[in-house]
Structure formats: structure tokens, C-alpha cells
């Protein structure tokens, strides 16, 4: 499924400068990821690197016309890869993490990378893969966030834990850059009790009570509900978040209204059956969160890195 293209940055970007999202990623985490990515791509000899040697060259990062308007995301990963390889990255002044770039002119020069030729080519594909995918996720998520904000909804669009193994941090990060929530980052960051947990323990109440022995006051408990009765049981047992799963938009809003009236402190999440074309049908005054796994899927944004030659023209 193709990604929708954002017409502009999220509403919040109009009233304040975009934050430095990359400072949320610990340096040791970035270096560990970079080493693992490069080790996967070059596990033994780099013969192509031997061929080109250590001559210092400059390459230009282009966003291609097919990408049109897209959200730029992934600068911390791109920078970390080339910094590790002792190359210098300089971004064009108009290119901001989380900002919209427009390549409809044909191709758009976004940055330059300078360093030893073999290191430029060693990091090229890995850096482009990261930038292309995180930008693709951010572009798709931004479109969903904008659609909900345009309806005046004040809730939160969220991803899920249905992420690519080994790529979770990047996918979750892209959701945040786009203006959405990453949802829970892993099994330890929040307790989500789904149908299998309930079936295995015998009841929602039992599952919640067992979870509360460990969570204390620092970790929220969320329970998946498939009916108003199960939602009530979850809320009365002490769940802070109730997910109304696969309710359909009409039944969802009726159930959420009853649940909010009886348990106004409970966060109500909608999930299941939500697609790009109908997400606005699932938002409303009694819905706090809408989540969907397609938040982390994407159409890859087309970037390339080309070593500068006199014949290559830049479009800025």
C-alpha cells in the first residue's frame, strides 16, 4: 500500500521549532547499532573498498523526484554511520529532522558526505537503507496524524509492537518524529494483557491482579477488551488503559461513551479495523488513542548517494 504524502508539517511545528529528536538516542546505543549494521553488510573482506582506496572525496545525498513531498527522518542514524567511518556529514540548511522536503523538481540535494572513498562506499547502502525506511514510516504516520488533527481531535495516534526484529528502535523513533506515539516500546515498558493472557489465567480480574503485584505505581496496565462487559471488568480491576479491539466504528463510540461515563479516569484505546482511509471514523471525544500496526509499515523514500563529478547537477 502506498504512503500518503503530507501536505505540511504537523500543527505543532507551526508554533515551535522542531526539537532535536536525536538526543533521545543514547550514544552507546547508536554505536552498537551502527557496528551491528555494518558487520551484517561487510562480515569479512571489503574488496570494493580496497579498489577505491582512501582518497578523500565528497558525495551528495539526493532525494529523488518519485518521493515527492516526504518527511525527512533518520538523520541520527545516517550521521552515526558516517561519523563512525570518520566521514563528515553536512546537511543543507532547509533539511530538518521531522520537516517536509519536496523533491518534485527532479532530485533534491539534501546533504554532502566527505571522507575516504572506501568509507563513503562502505557506509553508503546501510545509511541509505536507514534513511529511506525511517523517512517512509514518518511520511505515512504524519499523514495519519494530520488527518486526525484536521478533525480537531486531541488524542494520540500510536504504532504497535508489530515491528521488524532488529529495527524496532528505528521504527518507533520514526513514529515519534512524525508526531505520533510509539506505544509501548517492549514487553517490559508496559503491561498489555491480551486475549491469550486472559484465557491462560482464567479471567481479566485474575490477570490484572497478578500484574499489579509487580507494576506498583510506575508501570501502566492495559487490557484488551472485546465487549463492554470485558471492558468494564478490566477498568474495575484496575487497568489504567482499556483497548477496545475490533469493535467497528459505530459500536466503538457507543461503548467508549459508556465506559468513559462509568470510568472517566481510564484511557480508552481503539484498535482493529483501522486503515489509512478510515482512521478518522475511529476518533472521537471518548477515544484517547488509536493504534494500528501499519504505522510502522512504509513505502521506501528514494534516496541516493553519488560521488560528486562536474556533470552531476544539484537541485536545491
Which residues are identified as catalytic? 162
| CA atoms of 103 and 140, how far apart (whole Å) | 17
C-alpha distances out from residue 309 to 89, 90, 313, Å? 18, 18, 9
Amino acid at each position: 500500500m502506498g504512503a500518503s504524502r503530507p501536505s505540511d508539517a504537523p500543527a505543532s511545528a507551526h508554533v515551535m521549532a522542531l526539537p532535536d529528536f536525536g538526543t533521545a538516542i543514547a550514544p552507546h546505543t547508536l554505536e552498537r547499532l551502527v557496528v551491528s549494521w555494518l558487520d551484517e553488510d561487510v562480515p569479512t573482506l571489503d574488496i570494493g573498498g580496497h579498489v577505491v582506496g582512501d582518497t578523500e572525496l565528497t558525495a551528495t545525498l539526493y532525494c529523488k523526484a518519485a518521493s515527492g513531498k516526504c518527511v525527512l527522518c533518520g538523520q541520527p542514524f545516517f550521521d552515526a554511520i558516517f561519523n563512525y567511518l570518520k566521514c563528515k556529514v553536512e546537511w543543507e540548511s532547509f533539511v530538518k529532522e521531522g520537516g517536509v522536503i519536496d523533491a518534485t523538481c527532479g532530485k533534491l540535494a539534501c546533504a554532502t558526505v566527505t571522507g575516504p572513498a572506501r568509507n563513503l562506499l562502505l557506509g553508503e547502502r546501510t545509511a541509505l537503507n536507514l534513511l529511506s525506511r525511517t523517512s517512509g514510516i514518518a511520511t505515512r504516520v504524519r499523514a495519519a496524524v494530520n488527518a486526525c488533527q484536521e478533525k480537531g481531535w486531541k488524542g494520540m495516534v500510536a504504532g504497535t509492537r508489530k515491528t521488524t526484529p532488529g529495527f524496532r528502535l528505528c521504527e518507533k523513533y520514526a513514529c515519534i518524529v512524525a508526531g505520533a506515539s510509539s506505544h509501548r516500546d517492549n514487553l517490559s515498558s508496559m503491561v498489555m494483557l491480551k486475549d491469550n493472557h486472559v484465557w491462560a489465567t482464567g479471567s481479566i480480574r485474575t490477570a490484572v491482579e497478578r500484574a499489579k503485584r509487580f507494576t506498583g505505581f510506575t508501570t501502566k496496565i492495559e487490557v484488551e477488551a472485546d465487549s463492554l462487559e470485558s471492558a468494564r471488568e478490566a477498568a474495575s480491576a484496575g487497568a489504567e488503559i482499556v483497548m477496545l479491539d475490533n469493535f467497528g466504528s459505530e459500536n466503538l463510540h457507543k461503548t467508549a461513551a459508556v465506559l468513559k461515563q462509568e470510568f472517566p479516569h481510564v484511557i480508552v484505546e481503539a484498535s482493529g479495523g483501522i486503515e489509512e482511509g478510515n482512521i478518522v471514523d475511529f476518533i472521537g471525544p471518548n477515544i484517547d488513542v488509536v493504534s494500528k500496526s501499519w504505522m510502522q509499515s512504509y513505502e521506501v523514500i528514494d534516496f541516493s548517494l553519488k560521488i560528486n563529478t562536474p556533470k552531476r547537477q544539484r537541485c536545491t
